[in-house]
Amino acid sequence: MTNRTVTLTDPQSEKTLELPVVAGSEGDPTIDITRLNPELGYFTYDPGYGTTANCKSDITFIDGASGILRYRGYPIEQLAERSSFMEITFLLLYGELPTASQLRDFQRDITYHTMVHEKVNSFISGFHYDAHPMAILSGVIASMAGFYQQNLDVNNPEHRELAAKRLIAKMPTVAAAAYRHYMGWPSAYPRNSLNYAENFLHMMFSVPAEAYEINPIAAKALDMLLILHADHEQNASTSTVRLVGSTGANPYACVAAGIAALWGPAHGGANEAVLRMLHQIGDVSRVGEFIKRAKDKNDPFRLMGFGHRVYKNFDPRATITRKACHEVLADLGQNDPLLDLAMKLEKIALEDDYFVQRKLYPNVDFYSGIIYKALGIPTTMFTPMFAIGRTVGWVAQWMEQSASPHRIGRPRQIYTGHGERDYIEIDKRD
């Protein structure tokens, strides 16, 4: 809280209200409007929550105008280059970078929770073979509340921490199992000798018929993408997790709801949509035609991987994925024409008045799909990859909310329907 206030005068009632200005450690000052309705009888209208802060949080800071993203104060550029996903997971959950022994213990804890109950695998086998892996992921994660019922007291910090570790550990196991279900391959159980990213690659691609060698370039690239996706303050899926969590629902239900929110093409589903769009465009010569369609208000087509609610300059994660995309393809000795197409599309869009005026830039997902493709990950698994990384943010934000006093999330509305009218018997209706 600052000493500043904003004065609001209602000309109708001639009442005046001093609204306190709340300042965080960084970011724009925020007007506390909690007394507005009790004192003046008004609600505020903010569709899409574009100017509304719903919570105070110590975890992630974004400055959209300057293209800044920091986890617990550390710039994303430094973390992506020098850290590891397990270290970032510890940082987001507990607030500080781990010491060597803390990291060892934490990694061991996560590793020893990677196996799922065997009945989870039979649950997965009940899905149709070509079910989208996000459908499997959201259903199976919600079902886990039924497997771990002894530790579901959301008011118990030990239960919360155990659930957080289980979710982070088991998400790759379930995601990989969803892929294997589609492929018709037998289960691949986690290997405790492997790190988080390596273990995921092993669970995705190893088959009983031959030894599977993990490509260190692929494991490193995957680890970096998981870091980039780990948290992004109050985005749509994280806000969903917080909203569901505000009711006291168990963490598996909260994260399953987060997965559902992530699935949409305006959010995490964009990485899959980008690749489909690039295939649809097909050739550099057709870029102009699709740019024209993206600008046409009567055409539902949007440039996927472009635009962001918060970043109005550049998405710092996109700068990292763009560079990584070139490096990974070169390291793996691949030459993907989709990368040339993406670069051409980016160049033309960035020079176009429509995109310039609306401050539309490539977001993290414009290039991430091309990297996933280079690692052999199929398109339908792109959004589950995002979910694996973002699980850390979901549980960190859920833990933060659960550990402090909070109210149930309950927005209001502007009612635009009928006024009161009397019920008419069915035989008297026209």
Sites of contact with ligand ACO (CB under 6 A): 48, 266-268, 270, 294, 302-309, 358, 360, 363-365
Q: In the bound complex, what is the minimum distance in angstroms from residue 62's beta carbon to ligand ACO?
A: 12
Q: Report whether 21 contacts 29 (CB < 8 A).
A: yes
Which candidate, 254, 114, 136, places its Cα nearest to that of 191?
114
**Pairing between strand 30-31 and 60-63?**
unpaired
Positions annotated as catalytic residues are 267, 308, 365
Q: Which is nearer to ligand ACO, 98 or 369 (CB)?
A: 369
CB of 385 to ligand ACO, least distance (A): 12
Q: Which is nearer to ligand ACO, 111 or 363 (CB)?
A: 363
Choice between 134 and 249, CB closer to ligand ACO: 134
- Dist CA 271 CA 277 (whole Å): 10
Q: Which is nearer to ligand ACO, 218 or 274 (CB)?
A: 274
CB neighbour list of residue 94: distance below 8 Å, 6 or more residues apart: none
Q: What is the DSSP letter of 230?
A: S
Helices 365-374 and 382-402, packing angle to 10 deg: 120
| H or E segment to which residue 261 belongs | helix 251-263
Shortest spacing between CB 398 and ligand ACO, in angstroms: 19
Strands in 54-203 per DSSP E: 60-63, 68-71, 74-75
Using the minimum distance from each CB to ligand ACO, give the nearer residue, 183 or 266: 266
Contact 375, 324 (CB under 8 A): no
Q: Which two tokens stand for residue 387?
A: 């979910």
Judged by beta carbon, residue 134 or residue 303, the one nearer ligand ACO is: 303
d(CA 336, CA 86): 30
Q: Judged by CB, which is closer to ligand ACO: 306, or 394?
A: 306
| Shorter beta-carbon distance to ligand ACO: residue 198 or 272 | 272
Cα distances from 52 to residues 94, 234, 314, in angstroms, run 26, 10, 22
Torsion of CA 294, 296, 299, 305, to 10 degrees: 20
CA distance 287 to 183: 34
Structure tokens at 334: 């691949």
Q: In angstroms, rounded to a whole number, what is the distance separating the alpha carbons of residues 106 and 168? A: 12
**Left if phi > 0, otherwise alpha if psi is -120 to 50, otherwise beta: which for 376?**
left
Q: What is the DSSP letter of 66?
A: T
End-to-end CA separation in angstroms for the chain: 59
The residue nearest ligand ACO at its CB is: 307
Nearest 10 degrees: Cα torsion 224, 228, 230, 233: 170
C-alpha distances out from residue 326 to 169, 329, 342, Å: 30, 5, 12
